[in-house]
Chain A
């Protein structure tokens, strides 16, 4: 966490929808092994920001510099589409809120996990299947479910399968959009446990968008609070949650229901 070069450097990133602001003038550095949380209410621009960072949406202004393995820091906004897609299936991973957006529902679990491997040139069936079994095991899916379709899986299993499918190529940066949304609390807890283990074990950097403060408290080192497209507060997670400075952050923190 104390390495010199940031993995991702974002400067002045803005995205407009006509006259409306998606997100405006966002900038931050993310270092290897660091997990950053982005919180805010719905409509605050956190998903727009995440999609701009991950290359799913073209931003209107700003730079997203990523430390590529081959050429060092490159601006992913001006990079060519094939290069961006290559990043998207090697060094980057994207975990969607709804597993069905990130999975191929009519392809078996093994095929889902193997797709990224095949996309980067794996052509040995036995090896691909072996890796898929290994990954299913790591996300606690039984080996005999490898030929089942994701729609035969529960919501929590689908989400874990999506994570396996994304991490199989050993990415360095993971984007997560509400990874625990729509799951009941006990399933959430297991998923968070799993994510925390994987992040630590693989030394992943991650950007997690969520409105669930408990999730960021558990996973994120640093926190960015967004409101109406702007970043209103940043800092260490504990610092922001325990001593919120901005009015909106104070509202957000005090709005959490206590059990």
Chain B
């Protein structure tokens, strides 16, 4: 591990990223350009999040990575091992034990605290991108607070689908000023963004960092007669019986039978350890036997 500088990136690069993070925290929701580096993983695999994590990480941190809420998917495992090797930091799967959590597409179910940092991997940081292809124009729109177009997208949703069909990457307005893409988290997670932890967003390919300081006001855009709704599948978790958590839908056999289960694996396991059993689940200790 001594072959690498602590957390892979050299110290100059980390300083550059920290400056971008500080600027992002000072202007919540504003996309700060930064000189994104080549990372030893392809774009789209969290290069932005990894660079932000590397810049904020200290040797005493405990690191957790989730991908769609799960600790055990390829993306999560490889990034966790990357920092185990290059920084030698302790890692965990327990949300409450982690001090830095890197995430792709979810916010943990368990509320985060003031001493934690949540790092998002962001594919496309510009919420106006698919409406306005020119970067010059979108930056002008942000600086002039010219956001009428954002509601045109929601209008189109309602006229085509009868409801706001945007289910993830649902645009938000930060502190009454910047419209921000919350990364592709389900809109179920949007209300959780007003939290006590620091939230940092890194987009590697697009070379942008933005941030939300703790307790920042984050409002999901909507219409008066079509208010924002934090929706989820209308089921309980098959394994732990939770009714308040965001669920994944799985097809479990060739007959097409389905099962809903918590997307946050740590949360689900915690509940099962505490003795909750869902309709299709077995108590945790019998799992190997069954």
Which A positions have Cβ atoms within 8 angstroms of B? Answer: 81-82, 85, 89, 104, 107-108, 110-111, 114-116, 118-120, 123-126, 128-129, 146-147
B151 contacts partner chain A, Cβ-Cβ < 8 Å: yes
**Which chain B residues border A82 with CB–CB below 8 Å?**
144-146
Nearest B residue (CB) for A110: B159
**Which chain A residues border B148 with CB–CB below 8 Å?**
89, 115-116, 118-120
**Which chain A residues border B223 with CB–CB below 8 Å?**
123-125
Whole-angstrom distance between the alpha carbons of A89 and B145 in the complex? 14
23 contacts between A and B (CB under 8 A): A81-B144, A82-B144, A85-B144, A104-B152, A108-B156, A111-B152, A115-B148, A115-B149, A118-B155, A119-B146, A119-B148, A120-B148, A123-B222, A123-B223, A124-B224, A124-B225, A125-B155, A125-B226, A126-B225, A128-B155, A129-B159, A146-B159, A147-B159
Contacts A114-B152, A124-B223 hold; do A108 and B159 have CB atoms under 8 A apart? yes
Nearest B residue (CB) for A104: B152
Question: In the complex, are the beta carbons of B155 and A114 less than 8 A apart?
Answer: yes
Whole-angstrom distance between the alpha carbons of A108 and B156 in the complex? 7
Q: Per-position contact with A for B78-104: 1 when CB-CB < 8 Å, else 0?
A: 000000000000000000000000000
Number of B residues near A (Cβ < 8 Å) is: 18
Nearest A residue (CB) for B132: A104
Instruction: Indicate the member of B147, B156, B222 with the most A CB atoms within 10 Å.
Output: B156
Distance in Å: Cβ of B273 to nearest Cβ of chain A? 45
Whole-angstrom distance between the alpha carbons of A52 and B212 in the complex? 40
Whole-angstrom distance between the alpha carbons of A223 and B268 in the complex? 76
**Which chain B residues border A119 with CB–CB below 8 Å?**
146-149
B160 contacts partner chain A, Cβ-Cβ < 8 Å: yes
Whole-angstrom distance between the alpha carbons of A115 and B147 in the complex? 10
Nearest B residue (CB) for A84: B144
- Binding site of A, secondary structure by majority: helix, strand, loop or mixed? helix
B259 contacts partner chain A, Cβ-Cβ < 8 Å: no
Question: In the complex, are the beta carbons of A123 and B156 less than 8 A apart?
Answer: no
Whole-angstrom distance between the alpha carbons of A147 and B159 in the complex? 7
Whole-angstrom distance between the alpha carbons of A126 and B162 in the complex? 12
**Which chain B residues border A126 with CB–CB below 8 Å?**
225
Distance in Å: Cβ of A122 to nearest Cβ of chain B? 8
**Which chain B residues border A114 with CB–CB below 8 Å?**
152, 155
Whole-angstrom distance between the alpha carbons of A82 and B159 in the complex? 30
**Within residues 105 to 156 of chain B, which ones have a CB less than 8 A from any CB in chain A?**
144-149, 151-152, 155-156
B158 contacts partner chain A, Cβ-Cβ < 8 Å: yes
**Which chain B residues border A125 with CB–CB below 8 Å?**
155, 158, 223-226
**Which chain B residues border A107 with CB–CB below 8 Å?**
152, 156
Nearest B residue (CB) for A82: B144
**Within residues 170 to 228 of chain B, which ones have a CB less than 8 A from any CB in chain A?**
222-226
- Please give 19 more A-B residue pairs, beta carbons under 8 A apart, in addition to A116-B148, A119-B148, A147-B160: A85-B144, A85-B146, A104-B152, A107-B152, A107-B156, A108-B159, A108-B160, A110-B159, A111-B156, A114-B152, A114-B155, A115-B149, A115-B152, A123-B222, A123-B223, A124-B224, A125-B223, A129-B159, A146-B159
Nearest B residue (CB) for A124: B224
**Which chain B residues border A81 with CB–CB below 8 Å?**
144
Distance in Å: Cβ of A165 to nearest Cβ of chain B? 11
Contacts A108-B159, A110-B159, A147-B159 hold; do A118 and B152 have CB atoms under 8 A apart? yes
Whole-angstrom distance between the alpha carbons of A116 and B147 in the complex? 11
Nearest B residue (CB) for A114: B155
Whole-angstrom distance between the alpha carbons of A111 and B144 in the complex? 22
Whole-angstrom distance between the alpha carbons of A89 and B152 in the complex? 15
Distance in Å: Cβ of A113 to nearest Cβ of chain B? 10
Distance in Å: Cβ of A144 to nearest Cβ of chain B? 12
Whole-angstrom distance between the alpha carbons of A85 and B149 in the complex? 14
**Which chain A residues border B222 with CB–CB below 8 Å?**
123
Distance in Å: Cβ of B154 to nearest Cβ of chain A? 8
